[in-house]
Amino acid sequence: MEHVTASLEDLPLRDDLRGLTPYGAPQAALPVALNVNENTHPVPDEVGSSILDDIAVALQQVNRYPDREFTALREGFADYLGHGLRPENIWAGNGSNEVLQQILQAFAGPGRTVFGFAPTYSMYPLLTQGTGATWVAGTREPDYTVTAESAARQVAEADPDVVLLCSPNNPTGTALGLDVVEAVYDAARGVVVVDEAYQEFAPKESPSALTLLDGRPRLAVSRTMSKAFAFAGARVGYLAADPAFTDALRLVRLPYHLSALTQAAATAALRYAPTMLAMVDEIVTQRDRISATLEALGYEPHESAANFVLFGGVDDPAATWRALHDRGILIRDVGIPGHLRVTAGTEEETTAFLDALASIESAS
């Protein structure tokens, strides 16, 4: 039988998806990968052993469907987040991207709009497009901050069905004040989602939008285990909201969407939250070291409350990215002119990046 290869143009693809490219950061087997904001520290051995024990127990019943309501995991997230949250306030999925997708499936869709302040997480427009809604981009100040007055005005003018607020923001590292979240909620007709994927890296005195949930049924706060919990490969994201909000997501979730093995691994990791989060302080130290050294090298690092640093003053981002790549260092060109973004890794990885960057400066 002759093998025939078709192209996307040959398939009856949706018109609004034609010409698009899949999301994906560059992948390369380099010694130091600091391009996708992972926690580059491995899971501690004692935690890994306990996770494996729990997975072994779950395997004994893997022939059965998992708990559809992931009851134990929701209890674990409620305990971890605090703020008086109960399991019925919690939802989870295979990474926070799936949780955000479910929100858009429930509250956006064809004929509806999704709003966010650009530049922001590049998956927001793609998730919007994938669910048939229209993405509307608001604007930030030159330093990437957003004021409450400007935010409320822009949201009122756009009148979106869903507002996505990334705080701390990816790719800029900028945190939003709670006054901005409150102003946006008051101005919005639709639901407001605060994406706190990097909240654990923010200053400890920084309040979370979780404090605003009471009495705001259209507000949700999403989190992930990928970053602070070093669980990127496990794919576990979650949110807290009014129980009515989580009920809405049940209408669009796939049956048994969280596997028994995922539930077991995440529940075990949450039991060791203090141990898992002990590496956060080290990452913050390296983040601040990166910022200080970048400034000393003549670059313009933006203030970050996340586990990465966006820095400007790069004359030729593509050339600098390539020069670092050739030295075994992988960072991210996020498409902002004159800027690159680097994840804060271990002390050794951070040293390798800074030394490589300095060597590029010396060579030029």
Residues 267 and 250 grouped into a single domain:
yes
Percent residues over pLDDT 90 in the chain: 90
**With 0-12 CB in 10 A as exposed, 13-18 as middle and 19+ as buried, what is 213?**
buried
Q: In which band, very low, low, confident or very high, does the pLDDT at 23 lie, cut at 50, 70 and 90? A: confident
Residue 3 is assigned to a structural domain of this protein: no
Closest-CA residue to 308 (of 291, 292, 293, 287): 287
Residue-wise pLDDT for 249-296, tens only, equals: 999 999 999 999 999 999 999 999 999 998 999 999 999 999 999 999
DSSP line for 22-77: ---------SEE-SS----SPPPHHHHHHHHHHHHHHHTTTTSPP-TT-HHHHHHH
Residues 266 and 126 in one domain: yes
User: Which of 81, 98, 95, 40 is CA-nearest to residue 290?
Assistant: 40
Total number of domains in the chain: 2
Do residue 221 and residue 288 come from a single domain? no
Query: Helices 260-271 & 45-59, crossing angle to 10 degrees?
Result: 150
198 and 344 fall within a common domain: no
Identify the pLDDT of residue 2.
64
Same-domain status, 78 and 112: yes
Overall average pLDDT of the 21-42 stretch:
87
In a domain, 115, yes or no: yes
pLDDT at residue 205 is higher than 70: yes
pTM of the model: 0.94
Instruction: Say if 303 falls within a structural domain.
Output: yes
Res 321: pLDDT: 96
Question: Could you write out the DSSP letters of every residue in 224-241?
Answer: ESSSTTS-GGG--EEEEE
Residue 63 has pLDDT above 60, yes or no: yes
Checking if the pLDDT of 362 tops 60, the result is no
pLDDT(78) > 60: yes
pLDDT of residue 4: 65
Last residue of a domain, one of 250, 271, 292: 271
Q: Are residues 98 and 205 in the same domain?
A: yes
Q: Which residue type occupies 160?
A: P
Higher pLDDT, residue 293 or 4:
293
Q: Are 115 and 241 part of one and the same domain? A: yes
User: Which residues constitute the domain of residue 181?
Assistant: 45-271
State the CB neighbour count (10 A cutoff) for residue 345: 26
**Which are the contacts of 46, defined by CB distance < 8 A and separation ≥ 6?**
272, 275
Which residue, 243, 271, 299, sits at the end of a domain?
271
Q: Identity (one letter) of the amino acid at 29?
A: A
Residue 345 confidence (pLDDT) above 90: yes
Report how far Cα 343 is from the mean position of its chain's Cα atoms: 13
**Going along 284-353, which residue ranges are E strands?**
300-301, 308-312, 329-330, 340-343
Distances (CA, A) of 351 to 171, 227, 228: 22, 21, 21
- Reference 229, options 275, 288, 194; nearest CA is 275
Residue 20 in domain: no
Residues 205 and 89 in one domain: yes
pLDDT at 27: 74
Give residue-wise pLDDT tens across range 135-149: 999 999 999 999 999
Task: Place 87 in a pLDDT band, splitting at 50, 70 and 90.
Answer: very high
Per-residue pLDDT at 28? 75
| Average pLDDT score over the chain | 95
Q: What is the pLDDT of residues 152-190, one digit of tens each?
A: 999 999 999 999 999 999 999 999 999 999 999 999 999
Q: Is the pLDDT of residue 64 over 80?
A: yes
Q: To 10 degrees, what angle do helices 178-187 and 148-158 make?
A: 20
Any idea what the CATH number is for the domain that residue 63 is in?
A: 3.40.640.10
Q: Is 346 left (phi over 0), alpha (psi -120 to 50) or beta?
A: beta
Mark whether 155 and 134 lie in a shared domain: yes
What CATH number corresponds to the domain at position 284?
3.90.1150.10
**164 and 61 housed in the same domain:** yes
Is cis: bond before 217, omega within 30 of 0? no
Do 305 and 249 share a structural domain?
Answer: no
Angular region, 37: left φ>0, alpha ψ -120 to 50, beta rest: left
Domain boundary among 236, 271, 306: 271
